[in-house]
Amino acid sequence: MVLRVGLTYNLRKKIAEHEGLPEDYYIEFDDESTVNAIASALASGGCRVIKIEADENAHTKLRRCKPDIVFNIAEGTRGESRESHIPVILEMLGIPYTGSGPATLAICLDKAMTHKVLSAYGVPSPKFQVFKRADEELDGNLSFPLVVKPLLEGSSKGIRSSSLVRDEKSLRKQVSWVIKTYRQPAIVEEFMPGREFTVGLIGNEEPFVLPIVEIQLDKLPNGASPIYSYEAKWVWDTPEKPLDIFKCPADIPLELDEEIREIAIKTFKILNCRDLCRIDMRLDKEGTPRVLEVNPLPGLIPDPNAHSCLPEAARAAGFTYEELICTILWQALKRYGLQNLFKNKHLVKIP
């Protein structure tokens, strides 16, 4: 029996002028080259791959083809819980899938909710305030500099070099821009002045922590704010002209390495992440790692020059791209008790 794997995704597209959308509106979506690379990796594992774009017809397509399992990378098309759309449909149809469930995806897309949940469990994260209007009074517990972001986005959407604000005027201007441009509240966080890291995990009950990636913000162009902004991720650092911005494994003391790993595993378990996840952290002025964001649906771009963090960390751990994709699939199959359906087990790096 050949394992039938659905591959759900959203393809990146150009923004038409009449749409009136921000330039980074579709930046979370995947290029066709990434979708094809994942499909090829799954095929190398002996799977029959069925590609399904996660549009408004996805429910009908999934109901008709009823794959054995779905490899889900769909970001969702709209709404504050858009990353949950495909998992909800799959659960309704009784189809197994890779990755975290609807509740986890919805919580992690909401930066404020993520901070609240983690804080309740003693996981350090930044102090913050949500602004629904630009003229709201600034919380007395926050002091400049501050970072302004859209509340419900990922992939550095809505985070510009100008998002690091150092005075009241800049704060009001940036909050107003976020609310107007992205039609959602802005979250304002205390700025963490230390080094920035991202941590990939694969697995479930005892997730495997991949080598820690440091984002070397001192490699950004002169004059750029020391934050991993949209410009840093998508404009200045391109496959054609890559910046030397990643260091993996990060060159850090063993004690800090262990602390970051411990926080990553605790965060993964608290938020009930599954199969794969990437967690962004930054050191505060005391050198304590604080969780900035949790991405249970991390990018899987295969090109090393694209600086996709989870594949970068997996390469440092000795994974080929095919092994990374098949290992993620295997972890999901194992959760459902379906691991015997996968035949090419030599491609599974974490059994």
pLDDT digits 0-9 by tens, 125-151: 999 999 999 999 999 999 999 999 999
pLDDT confidence band for 225 (50 / 70 / 90): very high
pLDDT confidence band for 238 (50 / 70 / 90): confident
Q: Taking CA 218 as the corner, what is the angle to CA 214 and CA 223, rounded to the nearest 5 degrees? A: 140
Backbone angles phi, psi at 169, to 5 degrees: -65, -45
Say how far apart CA 262 and CA 5 lie, in whole Å. Answer: 33
Average the pLDDT over each of 234-248, 257-271, 306-320 and give the range with the smallest value.
234-248
333 pLDDT exceeds 80? yes
Say how far apart CA 184 and CA 187 lie, in whole Å. Answer: 10
88 pLDDT exceeds 80? yes
Give the dihedral of Cα atoms 148, 151, 157, 160; nearest 10 deg.
Answer: -10
Instruction: Give Cα 84 distance to the centre of its chain.
Output: 14
321 pLDDT exceeds 90? yes
Domain boundaries of the chain, sorted by first residue = 4-99+334-347, 124-190, 196-319
219 pLDDT exceeds 80? yes
pLDDT of residue 4: 98
DSSP secondary structure string, 5-48? EEEEE-B--PPPGGG---TTTTTTSBPHHHHHHHHHHHHHTTPE
CA distances for 346 relative to 85, 196, 311, 320, 334, angstroms: 33, 34, 19, 12, 15
pLDDT of residue 222: 87
pLDDT of residue 80: 92
If one looks up domain 4-99+334-347 in CATH, what number appears?
A: 3.40.50.20
Mean pLDDT on 69-73: 98
Entry pTM: 0.95
34 pLDDT exceeds 90? yes
Q: In this structure, are residues 203 and 350 in contact, taking their beta carbons and an 8 Å threshold?
A: yes
Say how far apart CA 295 and CA 313 lie, in whole Å. Answer: 15
Say how far apart CA 323 and CA 327 lie, in whole Å. Answer: 6
Mean pLDDT on 302-306: 89
pLDDT of residue 232: 84
pLDDT of residue 305: 85
Mean pLDDT on 45-56: 97
Q: Which fold has domain 196-319?
A: D-amino Acid Aminotransferase; Chain A, domain 1 (3.30.470)
Pairing between strand 4-9 and 48-53?
Answer: parallel
Average the pLDDT over each of 51-55, 236-240, 280-284, 326-330 and give the range with the smallest value.
236-240
Instruction: Give Cα 86 distance to the centre of its chain.
Output: 16
For residue 131, what is the enclosing H or E element?
Answer: strand 128-131
pLDDT of residue 93: 98
Mean pLDDT of the chain: 95
Q: Does domain 124-190 have CATH number 3.30.1490?
A: yes
pLDDT of residue 351: 82
pLDDT of residue 24: 87
44 pLDDT exceeds 80? yes
251 pLDDT exceeds 90? yes
Altogether, the residues listed in the chain come to a count of 351
Find, among 125, 179, 106, 117, the residue nearest to 149 by Cα.
179
113 pLDDT exceeds 90? yes
Burial of residue 201 (CB within 10 Å: 0-12, 13-18, 19+) is buried
Say how far apart CA 158 and CA 156 lie, in whole Å. Answer: 6
Find, among 219, 204, 228, the residue nearest to 281 by Cα.
228
pLDDT of residue 83: 97
Instruction: Give Cα 318 distance to the centre of its chain.
Output: 21
Helices (H), 121-167: none
237 pLDDT exceeds 90? no
